Structure 1
Amino acid sequence: MRNIAQRHKIILNELEKKGFVRVQDLSKKLDVSEVTIRKDLKELEERRLLYRNHGSASQLSSLINDRHIDEKAKVQVEEKARIADAANLLLEKNDRIIIASGTTLLRFAQQMTFAEPLTVITSSVKVSLTLSYKPNIDIIQLGGIMRKSSASVIGPHAEYFLKDLTCNKLFISVDGIDLDFGLTTSNLDEAYLNKFMIKAAQEVIVLADSSKFGKRGFGKICDMHQIHRIITDKNASPNAIAIMREKGIEVDLV
């Protein structure tokens, strides 16, 4: 049987490789009880080497800060392009969709080749400007307080407008996906607006590259069971993909 130091080393190595580990999986791998693994995770958390969740653990570096949209647009560029192409395949004639804010969603708008009639409601000013050149798309720009770092609106005006809508699909991007905690973003007001978007949509589709897994933003958007589909890149952890599919979420790898 491995001693405590050996178990801790293996746990941290698994976490570094996968970004997210489950108590059940570690118990099988190390051939010890789940109670022992929970004690190990608690000790590692106290040493500030990981972040413990219910039944799992993620990397301590999972907490993220807000960054400007122009800065985020330079990261994971190829992955975002593939995700945007896959999202385009989900559009249907006369869809009424919501597009939230974020660089992946902006790329989705930029690459939108759908030629049938479509109505888009969006909080993103950049998405509205991009789609304004496409004659088949009717655009409803939500109003409110401008959040400069994301070039999008937040606040009660946008929230109130969404209360009276029912849309086919919501395309949303996030700053963090924690398989226990849920979806998060770095801005609390944006997270609150996203909640109204989710209530207005029949289907919630998350566009997020693999770097978002195992991370948390400041504001929680929703639990994992509230989303229907995730489109991500092939670098996503197989462990995370398996867990999401177990939860009944459709996962598209591009």
Structure 2
Amino acid sequence: MKPPLEHTLSLPQAPAIVNERHRRIMALLHQQTSLSVSQLAHMLGVSEVTIRKDLTLLEQQQMLYRVHGSAILANPYIQERHVNDKEKLCSDQKRAIGAYAARLVEPRDTILIASGTTTLAMAREIREVEELTAITTSLSVATTLAENDECTVIQLGGVLRNSSFSVVGPFAEQMLRQFSCSKLFFGVDGFDLNYGVTTTNLMGGHLALMMIETVQKVIALVDSSKFGRRGFCKMCDVDRIDMVITDDGVSPIVVEQLQEAGIDVRIVEVIRTTVP
């Protein structure tokens, strides 16, 4: 007996074409990190309506995220983590970035160092620098720098955040108003080229903005995983940053956009000793 007619019909070809387009979308995102609907439509030769439908389906499958008319691979929204957990993430990149940042510290500098695992990596690399004064919100950074005989350490006061071993609040802000510093070194939780630089803590974000207003040069230590992501609280717009130090995993597209914004970009080579 012959099988029912519907079992002998070949499958329509449209789904296969759609699946191939999905693969191309994902491949392009792996190359460029973030792409707008219009960019994808142009690259793939289809309408923006078609691309939006594709992105909706891929987002439902948790293969990408959609933000303001664009598609990205990583979840852009960051949850706060304890500093001990954060220190294990991208540790090779943070060490390389911190070592490079430490070389920018000059004799008789008065620097601000914000809290964070990348700035702590920097503090560990600061050697004997003549007449260095370092002001910091971080207890870990302060105790590390205190081992350096050439460094005068000023620990800001305030409310201690258990998750970061750093201080925030009005007492820290009041102390900051008394200083004028040459450089600020700070890490970020998120660096979105359109939205700005963010952190996961409201009070920490406000204090970071005050730090930016206190210094002559703002230097952001940003491992490549932070680009295209957002924390809860905005610290500043991208144009407030003078220099970004990042690792060799950063997308060339991101580097180009940073340079177009007038930011001095320093890319450090990473010797990887840990499993990603």
Give the TM-score normalised by the residue count of structure 2.
Answer: 0.81
The equivalent residue for 1:143 is: 157
Q: Is the 8 A contact 1:53 1:180 kept in 2?
A: no
Quick check: 1:41–1:52 contact (8 Å CA) kept in 2? no
Which residue, out of 247, 258, 268, partners 1:244?
A: 258
Q: Does 1:84 align with 2:98?
A: yes
Aligned residue in 2 for 1:159: 173
Deviates more, 1:41-50 or 1:12-21: 41-50
Q: What is residue 118 of structure 2 aligned with on the other side?
A: 104
* Alpha carbons of structure 1 residues 44 and 50: separation in structure 2 relative to 1, 3 Å: farther
**2:80 equivalent in structure 1:** 66
- SS of the residue corresponding to residue 80 of structure 2 reads coil
Match of 1:121 among 135, 138, 143: 135
Which residue of structure 2 aligns with residue 180 of structure 1?
194
User: How many residue pairs end up in the alignment?
Assistant: 251
Relative distance call for 1:113 and 1:40 in structure 2 (3 A) is farther
Q: Is the Cα–Cα contact under 8 Å of residues 181 and 223 in structure 1 kept in the other structure? A: yes
Match of 2:67 among 35, 40, 52: 52
Check conservation: 2:128, 2:149, Cα contact below 8 A: no
Q: Distance in 1 between matches of 2:81 and 2:41?
A: 38
Distance, in Å, in 2 between the alignment partners of 1:14 and 1:224 is 25
Deviations 1:23-44 (A, max 9, x none): 56545523568x6698569856
- For residues 2-21 of structure 1, give each alpha carbon's deviation from its aligned partner in whole angstroms, at most 9, with x where no partner exists: x8776555334323444322
- TM-score normalized by the length of structure 1: 0.88
* CA distance in 1: counterparts of 2:53 and 2:262, whole angstroms: 30
Alignment of 1:183-198 (within 5 A): 183-198=197-212
Query: Could you tell me how far apart the structure 2 residues matched to 1:75 and 1:67 are?
Result: 11
Structure 1 unmatched ranges of 5 or more: none
Distance 2:53 2:178 in 1: 49
Q: 1:125 to 1:43 in 2, by over 3 A?
A: same
Deviates more, 1:40-49 or 1:241-250: 40-49
Name the amino acid aligned to 1:144: G
Letter in 2 for 1:75: L
Larger Rg: 2
Q: After alignment, is 11-20 or 82-91 more displaced?
A: 11-20
- Equivalent residue for 1:212? 226
Separation in structure 2 between the aligned mates of residue 40 and residue 241 of structure 1, nearest angstrom: 30
How far does residue 53 in structure 1 lie from its aligned partner after superposition? 2.9
Q: What is the RMSD of the two structures over their aligned residues, measured on CA atoms?
A: 2.6
Choose 16-25 or 122-131, whichever is displaced more: 16-25
Once residues 220 and 44 of structure 1 are traced to their aligned partners in structure 2, the CA distance between those partners, rounded to angstroms, is: 30
Q: How does 1:21-60 map to 2 (within 5 A)?
A: 21-22=35-36, 25-26=39-40, 28-31=42-45, 43=56, 49-53=64-68, 56-59=70-73
Of residues 243, 246, 250 in structure 2, which corresponds to 1:229?
243
State the Cα deviation string for residues 175-203 of structure 1 (Å, max 9, x = none). 11111111111111111110101111111
Aligned-residue sequence identity (percent) comes to 41
| Aligned-partner residue type, residue 114 of structure 2 | A
Q: 1:46 to 1:131 in 2, by over 3 A?
A: closer
Amino acid at match of 2:67: R
AA at the equivalent of 1:61: N
Residue ranges of structure 2 left out of the alignment (5+ in a row) = 1-16, 269-276
Report the Cα distance in structure 1 between the residues aligned to 2:173 and 2:166, rounded to whole angstroms: 13
Contact 2:119 2:186 in 1 (8 A): yes
Separation in 2, partners of 1:11, 1:63? 22
